[in-house]
């Protein structure tokens, strides 16, 4: 069996297994509901929108949920829905998982171009079975789409197709902006490939920047005109929100043992999270890469430089303690490096064990996603209660976006309430907490019990603090109207 046939076998098998996993699970985790609703609102209005339509429906309310993410993924999905005639979760899943198909195809072409056909095949085997790649090829997040575009841009520059690379880089900006962490490397690569020909370098650089400048200008002007992000300040008045506040929060560290911290699904500073996201196969092969000293000049120029360039911006912008999924764009480069170790493994039994480990890693990750990407029966019971027993203009306090699709009721959490949520959770004066909740128009406090955490040493907005839950039962202005083993609903009188 030739390497190309093996490649297409791996590509088709992994793609359809991922697609099956996605279609048989539910829209439920993290931000994917928000991205889905963004595409749905574009489909319904026929244009890019600034806020969730459910929040705009009630003009008297100051609470808005902004669509602050880049719009390309959503626009393309809404276009597919226009062809089919209506929004469809299955179409959305087929569309999103197709990015995985493209990414695996691209990494094969790059590995083949740099090191040969066999190397391209091994790169595919490693990347296609990497846990983070699998998970976010199912979940509706933007990390895989932006990785496809940055990888495609890299391949086009290698092929010296600068105009097409410019288009790809322009699309990166309206897909997910952290893809621009590679920009200095792409500039270097264009200069490197033109052999000190100054005239050609200037011409290619001007060509390369044409489309990025166009898309950046469009997006910035649109945001200035349409997307005025509003949140409640600590005084509970509407105020403008600046991303500079996020930088201040990272720099002005107060009490290390007891402070309000960002809640993430993974942390780069946690070794176990690194293993879970990158997978044991990649890490083992990278260790072998250094131990066996398989590196060469080509590795440094085409692989280590983009990885290093991206990491510098990653640590500067996101900090060392950030979410590992933001590192997905460098995973294709790492898989090509790791493939060098697999390529030089001479013992057939050892190579077989590594391939078997890739297979087990892939299957276990798919099973994990299938189990986690579901809304439990008990949570659905709570959503049904809210849908049938609350006013359509009700406002719910809840930490997950999936309640929007589950109830068609507005919800608020830290991203909308900002400092006010901290006051609700930790202000010791009951009358103050009551005044804040009522002034914000919150009608129901919806508690997902698996999101209750001990805030004795660490405070964050990833769920409900235990200290708040103890006090909630004593508040006279709320009443528990629904309760099962996973969710309780408290009505504000």
Q: What is the pLDDT of residues 179-212, one digit of tens each?
A: 999 999 999 999 999 887 899 999 999 999 999 9
37 pLDDT exceeds 50?
yes
Whose CA is closest to 41, among 31, 26, 28, 51? 51
d(CA 170, CA 303): 22
Looking at residue 387, its pLDDT comes to 96
Q: What is the mean pLDDT of the chain?
A: 89
Looking at residue 233, its pLDDT comes to 39
262 pLDDT exceeds 80?
no
1 pLDDT exceeds 80?
no
319 vs 163: which has the higher pLDDT: 163
CB 126 within 8 A of CB 361: no
Among 11-15, 62-66, 235-239, 354-358, whose mean pLDDT is lowest? Answer: 235-239
pTM over 0.85: yes
Rg (alpha carbons) of the chain, rounded to whole number = 24
d(CA 346, CA 21): 35
Looking at residue 346, its pLDDT comes to 78
Share of the chain above pLDDT 90, in %: 73
Looking at residue 261, its pLDDT comes to 60
Looking at residue 75, its pLDDT comes to 97
d(CA 186, CA 203): 15
Looking at residue 416, its pLDDT comes to 78
DSSP type of residue 360: H
Looking at residue 60, its pLDDT comes to 63
Whose CA is closest to 334, among 394, 276, 289, 270? 289
Q: How many helices (H) and strands (E) does the chain have?
A: 24, 11
Non-local (6+) Cβ contacts of 294 within 8 A are 288, 340, 341, 344
Share of the chain above pLDDT 70, in %: 92
d(CA 265, CA 65): 22
177 pLDDT exceeds 50?
yes
* Phi and psi angles of residue 464, each rounded to the nearest 5 degrees, phi first: -100, 125
328 pLDDT exceeds 80?
yes
């Amino acid at each position: 069996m030739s390497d190309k046939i093996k490649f297409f076998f791996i590509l088709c098998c992994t793609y359809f297994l991922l697609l099956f996993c996605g279609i048989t699970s539910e829209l439920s985790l993290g931000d994917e509901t928000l991205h889905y609703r963004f595409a749905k609102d574009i489909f319904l209005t026929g244009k890019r929108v600034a806020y969730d339509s459910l929040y705009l429906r009630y003009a008297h309310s100051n609470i808005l949920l902004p669509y602050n993410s880049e719009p390309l993924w959503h626009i393309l999905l809404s276009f597919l829905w226009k062809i089919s005639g209506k929004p469809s979760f299955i179409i959305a899943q087929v569309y999103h998982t197709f990015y995985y198909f493209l990414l695996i195809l691209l990494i094969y072409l790059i590995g083949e171009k740099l090191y040969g056909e066999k190397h391209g095949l091994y790169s595919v085997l490693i990347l296609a079975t990497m846990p983070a790649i699998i998970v976010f090829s199912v979940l509706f997040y933007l990390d895989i789409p932006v990785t496809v575009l940055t990888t495609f841009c890299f391949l086009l520059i290698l092929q010296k197709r600068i105009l097409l690379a410019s288009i790809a880089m322009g699309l990166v900006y309206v897909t997910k902006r952290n893809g621009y962490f590679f920009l200095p490397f792409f500039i270097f690569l264009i200069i490197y490939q033109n052999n000190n020909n100054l005239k050609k370098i200037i011409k290619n650089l001007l060509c390369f920047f044409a489309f990025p400048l166009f898309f950046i200008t469009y997006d910035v002007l649109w945001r200035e005109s349409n997307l005025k992000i509003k949140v409640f300040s600590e005084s509970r008045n509407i105020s403008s929100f600046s991303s500079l506040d996020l930088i201040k929060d990272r720099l002005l560290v107060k009490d290390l043992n007891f402070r309000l911290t960002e809640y993430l699904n993974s942390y780069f500073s946690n070794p176990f999270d690194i293993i879970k996201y990158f997978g044991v196969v990649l890490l083992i092969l990278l260790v072998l890469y250094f131990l066996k000293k398989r590196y060469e000049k080509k590795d440094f120029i085409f692989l280590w430089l983009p990885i290093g360039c991206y990491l510098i911006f990653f640590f500067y912008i996101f900090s060392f303690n950030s979410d590992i999924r933001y590192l997905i764009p460098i995973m294709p480069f790492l898989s090509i490096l790791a493939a060098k170790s697999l390529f030089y493994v001479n013992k057939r039994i050892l190579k077989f064990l590594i391939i078997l480990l890739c297979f087990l890693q892939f299957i276990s990750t798919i099973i994990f996603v299938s189990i986690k990407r579901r809304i439990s029966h008990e949570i659905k019971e709570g959503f049904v209660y809210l849908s049938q027993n609350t006013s359509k203009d009700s406002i719910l306090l809840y930490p997950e976006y999936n309640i929007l699709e589950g109830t068609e009721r507005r919800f608020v959490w830290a991203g909308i309430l900002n400092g006010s949520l901290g006051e609700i959770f930790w202000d010791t004066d009951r009358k103050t907490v009551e005044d804040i909740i009522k002034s914000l128009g919150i009608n129901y406090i919806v508690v997902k019990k698996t999101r209750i955490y001990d805030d004795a040493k660490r405070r964050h907005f990833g769920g409900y603090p235990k200290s708040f839950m103890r006090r909630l039962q004593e508040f006279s202005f709320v009443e528990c109207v629904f309760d099962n083993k996973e969710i309780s609903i408290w009505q504000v009188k």
